[in-house]
Amino acid sequence: MTRTSAPVDAPVTGAWEGLVTTALLGTDRRTPPGTGPGPEAPVALLDAAATETVRRRAGLRPARAAERPQAAPEDPRPPLPPAAARRLALLLADRPGPSGGGRRGSAPDLMELLPQWLAAANTRGFAPPPHALPALLDAARGRTDLRPAVLEFAGPRALWLARLNQDWRFALRSAPGGGAALPHVDDDDRIQQLWQEGLFAERVALLSALRSREPAAARELLAATWTKERAEDRLMFLDSLRAGLGPDDEPFLEQALADRSRNVRATAAELLSALPGSALAARMAVRAEARVAIDHTQTPQAAPAAQTAQAAPTAPTIAVEAPHECDPGMERDGVVAKAPAGRGERSWWFGQLVEAAPLGTWSRRLGGRTPREIVALPVADDWQGELHAAWCRAAVRQRDAEWSRALLGEPSAPEAGGPGAVSLAERAKLLGTLGAAERAEWVAGFIATHGLSEAFQLLGVCAVPWSGPLGRAVVDALNIARDAGSYPWSFSGVMGLAERCLDPSEAGRLDALLAVPDEPENASPGAGGYWAEAFQRLVTTLRLRAAMAEELSAS
């Protein structure tokens, strides 16, 4: 007689589930098969479970062995000095505990020092210890702002690891081409193959890298396939032309003004307006000039007493006549016809014309005046805010330092400390067109006059470490706030910036601020102790940053 049996990988249906159910119910309520109630039932249940476990395992057919991963690539960079490697482990592992009552305590926030440490290590070209790579990738997974610096520091071995762990796949998306090496600028065949066949991220990385080295070659590569690209891809590719933008790009950008996508047209117009010698800039200049003029018919608000019997003198005033329509030519040159909600159409069109016109237009149009003299002129009919804001956008777009200085004005001016024709956000952008030293000097003067309450945005655009005058202005303003009895968390944002941006050499000057001060009569209760903690954390952080720099500089 022939016996038949189920395949070894097909266990008896329900056997294991029955044993699990019996264990959940208890052997007093349900006994294992073939066993009656009594003290032997639990033992029989365990024996049956053990037998079933062996049977299930023995019945599995071995799978095909997976291919061994390739060896990790070599990292040719020099290893970290031992002290710096130990510091990295501390920065990755330590987390300051939460402090009660809203107090941060006096201990430095090590995770906030990690970005600065990574920047210094990348500048020196060090490679990480292999055992630190998992912690680095975990840190970058949790904080997207760390990813560029982490992936640069971690190097090719991090990408090798990312292919083996699903949790780290973000590294493949963040790295250009998923970690694939970009072809050399002279390897035309490889460049063409990657451009024609690569993934979108690979093509963006290729175009950006080529643009930084050979701007003309990158533009020609894009032009060859421009009409075949999707609208959203054309927009991303076009944005890469910002690097190395020059007059040679004008013909291609002029063609992009006729693109089917409104966003592509707007980006092309923005790029052309950043070229003061372009045909689009000239067209915008003609339109803008027709809307702005000097009006000599305005009279000052009060005439001198000696002139009361005479005709009142006239004062030059800027007159504005906003456009009454957005014609097709304006739309083709990037003017968006539909105004945002709550914005008047005429002012919306006017602002776009002025910001796209070359700034050199206005000296010629307004009587040969300098930018500072032009900005000082009164503007009729409440158009000053709109006109100055458009000039701000133009100065940032065209990187015009002279106009930026004029629009910024003196940092000690009363209007610099509050809402005005040029907002603090606009001032921060204007400061970005100036050199690092001039930028720091202006912000130091602003803080000395207006304090820290409005300075956070401005400090964010200053180079790190802060210059001596800027650092002293910040510390002096913090000291004034402490003496006034304010709570330090009112200035927590500035204090956090100071921990990251003050020159570590300033730590010695702060020792006098570590003691708990006498609280003024109207001070907030306990503010002095909070300030002492805040300054202790600041000093400790500065000294820690100094130690980090010394460790990375060790041979």
| 172-229 pLDDT per residue, tens | 876 654 444 567 767 788 889 889 988 787 788 889 889 988 999 999 999 999 999 9
* pTM as predicted: 0.74
- For CA atoms 354, 357, 363, 369, give the dihedral sign: positive
pLDDT computed for residue 298 by the predictor = 62
Cβ neighbors of 464 (< 8 A, separation 6 or more) are 116, 500, 501
Query: Taking the CB of residue 134, how many other CB atoms lie within 10 A of it?
Result: 15
Q: Would you mind telling me the total number of residues written for the chain in this entry?
A: 555
Q: How confident is the model at residue 421 (pLDDT cuts 50, 70, 90)?
A: low
CB distance 446 to 456 below 8 Å: no
Q: Other C-beta atoms within 10 Å of 22: how many?
A: 22
pLDDT confidence bin for 97, thresholds 50/70/90: very low
User: What pLDDT does residue 310 have?
Assistant: 52
Provide the pLDDT confidence category of residue 441 given band limits of 50, 70 and 90: very high
What is the average pLDDT value for the chain, to the nearest integer?
85
pLDDT, position 305: 47
Residue 492's pLDDT band, with cuts at 50, 70 and 90, is confident
Confidence of residue 506 (pLDDT cuts 50, 70, 90): confident
Mean pLDDT of 289-293: 96
Question: pLDDT band for position 11 (50/70/90)?
Answer: very low
Q: What is the 3-state secondary structure (H, E, C) of 270-285?
A: HHHHCCCCCHHHHHHH
Beta strand 317-320 with 292-295 is: antiparallel
Residue 93: predicted pLDDT = 85
Confidence grade of residue 41 (pLDDT, cut at 50, 70, 90): confident
Q: What percent of the chain has pLDDT over 90?
A: 53
Instruction: Please report the pLDDT score of residue 297 as a whole number.
Output: 77
The pLDDT value recorded for residue 91 is 92
Report the pLDDT averaged over residues 532-543: 89
- How many angstroms separate the CA atoms of 199 and 207, rounded? 12
Q: What is the mean pLDDT of residues 493-519?
A: 83
Collapsed DSSP state (helix, strand, coil) of residue 397: helix
Residue 145, phi-psi category: left (phi > 0), alpha (psi -120 to 50), beta (remainder): alpha
Checking if the pLDDT of 43 tops 80, the result is yes
Three-state secondary structure call for residue 449: helix
Assess contact for 288 and 352: CB atoms under 8 A.
Answer: no
Report CA torsion sign: 188, 194, 200, 201. negative
Cα 243 to its chain centre, rounded Å, is 18
Neighbouring C-beta atoms of residue 299, cutoff 10 Å: 13
